[in-house]
Amino acid sequence: MPDQSIPQARTPETPTAEPVSGASGISRRALLGTAGATGLVLGTAGGAVGYASAPAGTTPLTSVGAGRAMFHGKHQPGITDGLQARGHLVAFDLAAGAGRKEAAALLRRWSTTAERLMAGEAAPHGDTDVARDAGPSSLTLTFGFGHSFFGRTGLEKQRPAALDPLPDFSSDHLDKSRSDGDLWVQIGANDALVAFHALRAIQKDAGSAARVRWQMNGFNRSPGATAHPMTARNLMGQLDGTRNPKPTDTDFDQRIFVPDPGEPAWMAGGSYAVVRRIRMLLDDWEKLSLTAQEQVIGRRKADGAPLSGGDETTPMDLEKTDAHGDYVVPLNAHARITRPEKNGGAAMLRRPFSYHDGIDPDGTPDAGLLFICWQADPLRGFVPVQRKLDRGDALSTYIRHEASGLFAVPGGAAKGEYVGQRLLEG
């Protein structure tokens, strides 16, 4: 759980989503500013249910509800978009007897559903009305393939070398039933009902072609909850994501996305997602003094500044010592160990969700981080950093890796395409 690794791509308060506007792709939720303003009408394609437009003067959506991410593009949505308030991660296994043909049909259905929901429209089949009164709320859906997917579909020769299983780490306590999977879907939105609506639609679309293997729910701070945009905090109370790579960095695309032409070709514009359910041992963590917590991390808790001085963005001085000759930033501090210059330049784009799954019978909270990191090659991103953490990270005493997955996330779909089409029909 590296320092720059529990982060945000951009803050929720500064989303990249675009407001819904214009007559094209009219939002069936954006037009419903007042209850009962419109009625149900049958769509012309596939009997889908849509909504008639609201009368003039309808109350407009708030900026949160109106935020819209684009489905089509060079990259899939949900990678460089700002952190969203709600998220769902779900992995599927193809059903017995389902292969390449069924997988292609499923990805086609999922892509159609994703495009409509991200535009604020009804799901194409059996919409539940759960999100009827909301706008798109910066909804994103992102799709990936696990290592096992390629054997199930007869596409072993197209399996990327970068998708080889992650090595074992000493900090792993993995539940195999909540790890891996043939297919992976990441859902994020700034409204809980919009996110759930998308999850339900995706599950229904799977039909008899695939079954849910595991599913996890997460959250982040809501947009507008702070006086100004700032780095997110995790459940340990730490500012988390200070050193996350930024899309404005000159080498950002090189580190995060597979170049064109890709290796293999169908992965051009894609990325690799490492997904880890990291439980935080909060009872033990909260027994530490503030000073002890800051020594574990290597940064001040209040503002994220390095212990060597300055503010949050001040470069960390790893050589600075105190009056006793001890390093101000301890040798085993999380922030020191995870620095790219200490890991051969390894960098990942971290875009996580926090989670809380209740309280155990002994009173221990089952809470922590749904860690998601993006990179062009996990062997040059996540793996070297996690190996370094395995060898002496002070934070490892207070966390436990309980589930894991690695997924190849292809590039975005062009107009008229579905996600993964270049693989499944290439």
Return the active site residues.
240
Phi, psi of 372 (to 5 degrees): -130, 125
What is the distance between the alpha carbons of residues 123 and 212, in angstroms, rounded to a whole number? 20
Q: How far apart are CA 55 and CA 73, in angstroms?
A: 33
- Please tell me the total number of residues recorded for the chain in this structure: 426
Q: Are 403 and 174 in contact (CB under 8 A)?
A: yes
Peptide bond connecting 165 to the previous residue in cis, omega within 30 degrees of 0: no
> In this structure, are residues 182 and 210 in contact, taking their beta carbons and an 8 Å threshold?
yes
**For residue 202, what are its two tokens?**
């995706």
Q: ω into residue 264 within 30 of 0, thus cis?
A: yes
Q: Give the Cα-Cα-Cα angle 121, 354, 73 (nearest 5 degrees).
A: 40
In one-letter notation, the amino acid at residue 417 is E
- Reported as half-sphere exposure (CB side, CA atoms, 13 A), residue 338 has a value of 30
Tell me the CA distances in angstroms from 8 to 84, 97, 141, one per residue in order: 10, 40, 17
278 touches 216 (CB < 8 A): no
Beta strands in 209-294 (DSSP E): 210-219, 271-280
The DSSP-derived string for 20-71 is --SSTT--TTTT--STTSS-EEE-SSTT-EEEPPPPTTPPPPPHHHHEE--S
Give how far Cα 255 sits from Cα of 42, 167, 170, 271, 336, Å: 46, 21, 26, 9, 21
